[in-house]
Amino acid sequence: MSSEQELIRLAQVGDSDAFCVLAEAYERRIYSLAFHFCRDRQDAEDLSQEVWLKAYSAVANFRFESNFYTWLRKIAINCFLNHRRAVASKYPHEQVSEDSANERPAHSWEASFHNQLVIDRVMQALSDVTAQQRLIFLLKHQEGLTYEEISRSLGCSVGTVKKSVARTIAKLRERLGANEEPEKYISCAAAGILS
Amino acid sequence: MHNCKRTRDALIDLAMGELNEAQARAIRAELHNCDGCRAEQLAIAGTLGVSRQALSAEHGSDEFWRGYHNRLQNRLKAMPVVESSPRANFWDGLRAFATSSVRIPLPAALASVALVCVLSFVALSRGQVNQIPETPIAKVEVHTVHVPVVQEKVVQQVIYRDRKRPKQLSFDYANLNTATATAKPVPDSAKLNLVGFKPADQVKMTIIKGNDQDEK
């Protein structure tokens, strides 16, 4: 029995410390997904912690039929969709705050001006598309799900998934200037990121 | 024949790893023949590479993550302990089954609803046909009634008498060979006598001329 399975079994009988160890292994991925989905640090923390609380209350029903992270990601997607519905009912036209979208975090993870420039532009591009298109792009590009898996998770057609990905890539190209001078700009930006 | 539009439509699928090996090889072969499509493919790949780097960039310092984890731990400890039990699993499974939904095409859903309606209508109509109408059970009451017996009375009356009927007819029924053999036997007194009858060889017909006025 692997240590992850052992931790899951301990969590299933109510051991919160074991669940915290599990959470430590995946919390950055879940937080990252939440942050790119809602584009706000505080919302991302609330949303990602809500995912963990729901996972803890449902871990007793985990039957080891899939990978733990796959199961966790399903809970995260449901939380994100619920969050999107709540935001949509609160703000019918989804007023995106430019301040929050362009908010530059006060952490030290932006190592250079180039890095931050590219990250800001990617975030700006992601804020230009709808929440669903953004989530589809993140699930495809960051999580590596197939079109079919995404369509099943979100309850939409494969065509919608493809269009969403194409639309988001078009926005990214527009924001990164890839349409005008692709080789020059992207290679410069990528060098900045990688440095 | 190279088709730029078709090739460019497939470039995102190629970059996202959605094409199988044969399809990917075919698209790559197309890219060798067209500079425009190759530039498009480089632009998409570069965009996705940069965005992947940006999205996977570290989101916080170690201090941020320590605080995040402590907050999560406190919230988890504040939650009530949830233990799995077979009974809870059974009810959860039942609830999940009852609330589960299946996505089917709209025409199929409409056809199913129509089928259910028709079957329900047929079942109801058959039930009405086979249903035996409830008739009230007759209540039997026995009453003894004394009825006076009517005394029997014999009435004799002569209905018809033929006073003018001859006593003997001169026609012999015995010589007739008719199909009415089963007829009632004729009394001997009523038989006709045809002895000595000789039919004539010629038929004589006498025509008497006249008119209606003569009769008047």
Mean pLDDT, range A99-116, rounded to an integer: 52
Q: Is the pLDDT of residue A136 over 90?
A: yes
What the block records as the tokens of B1 is: 């024949």
Min Cα–Cα distance to chain A from B2, Å: 22
Residues of A within 8 A of B104 (CB-CB) are: none
- For the segment B22-61, what is each residue's pLDDT rounded down to a tens digit? 999 999 888 888 888 999 999 999 889 888 888 877 677 7
- Rounded-to-integer distance, Cα B167 and Cα B164, Å: 9
Distance CA A52, CA B79 (A): 11
What is the structure's pLDDT at A168? Answer: 93
* Per-residue pLDDT, B52: 86
Using pLDDT thresholds of 50, 70 and 90, give the confidence band for residue B129.
low
- What pLDDT score does A192 carry? 44
Higher per-residue pLDDT: A66 or B96: A66
Give the residue on A whose Cα is nearest the Cα of B64.
A107
B50 with A166: Cβ contact below 8 A: no
> In chain B, which residue's Cα lies nearest the Cα of A152?
B103
Contact partners, residue B99, CB within 8 Å, separation at least 6: none
From B7's Cα to the closest Cα of chain A, the distance in A is 14
User: Which of B134, B29, B64, B160 lies closest to A108, judged by CA?
Assistant: B64
CA distance B91 to chain A (A): 12
B39 CB within 8 Å of a chain A CB: yes
Q: What is the 3 state secondary structure string of A32-98? A: HHHHHHHCCHHHHHHHHHHHHHHHHHHHHHCCCCCCHHHHHHHHHHHHHHHHHHHHHHHCCCCCCCH
Chain A residues touching B48 at Cβ < 8 A: 141, 169, 172
Nearest CA in chain B to A25: B69
In order, the DSSP letters of B92-138 are: HHHHHHHH------HHHHHHHHHHHHHHHHHHHHHHHHHPPPP-PPP
- The mean-pLDDT minimum among A79-93, A166-180, B17-31 falls in A79-93
Residue range B190-213, pLDDT digits in tens: 556 666 777 767 766 777 766 655
Q: Output the pTM of the full model.
A: 0.57
> Whose CA is closest to B16, among A137, A45, A176?
A137
Under the banding of pLDDT at 50, 70 and 90, the label for residue B142 is confident
The structure tokens listed for B198 are: 């000789």
Q: Rounded to whole angstroms, how far apart are CA atoms A195 and A115?
A: 8
Residue B77 pLDDT: 84
Task: Give A16→chain B minimum CA distance, Å.
Answer: 6
A82 Cβ contact partners less than 8 Å away, ≥ 6 residues apart? none
